[in-house]
Amino acid sequence: MRDVRIIEFFVPGEPVGKGRPRIGRVGQHARLFTPEKTASYEGLIAHAGCQAMAGDTPIPGPVLVELHMGLSIPQSMSKKRKAQALAGLVFPTKKPDMDNVIKAIFDGLNGVVWVDDVQVVDSVVRKRYAETPGVRVRVVPLYTTDHMEAKAV
């Protein structure tokens, strides 16, 4: 049986939403391409997740995921408004869309922290302004007695 270990890590930089696949041509065939910005961000997420796993195999069962997205404060904000933003009184109702960032993070963690993102059965997600932009990720295995008994057999 695997020890229940909470995985936590921080990915620095502005959060990036998952971009829509693009269609390109290779000879006479159409092919789907993942946008470079999306692929790069998913790679950054996977790298951070891999470091946090410290050589462990991906979590096999259900998980709870907590994401705290920190977006940089626009330069155009006044000092007063910036202070309010850092205090959580002003919310970042701008791009990237929260759901697209979640997709990019979950796809980046497939095969690294968990086997597949279908295992995510619960989540808590926040998008706020922050002094240092980035995403704090916390993954909690939710092993049930049924899951443990199935693994023991």
- The whole-model pTM stands at 0.84
pLDDT tens per residue, range 8-44: 999 999 999 887 777 777 777 777 777 788 888 999 9
Task: Name, in order, each residue with C-beta under 8 angstroms of 62's C-beta and a sequence gap of 6 or more.
Answer: 119, 120, 121, 141, 142, 143, 144, 147
What is the rounded average pLDDT of the residues 70-86?
Answer: 95
Domains and CATH numbers, the chain: 7-152 (3.30.1330.70)
**Is the model's pLDDT at 1 over the cut of 50?**
no
For residue 139, what are the β-bridge partners? 7, 65
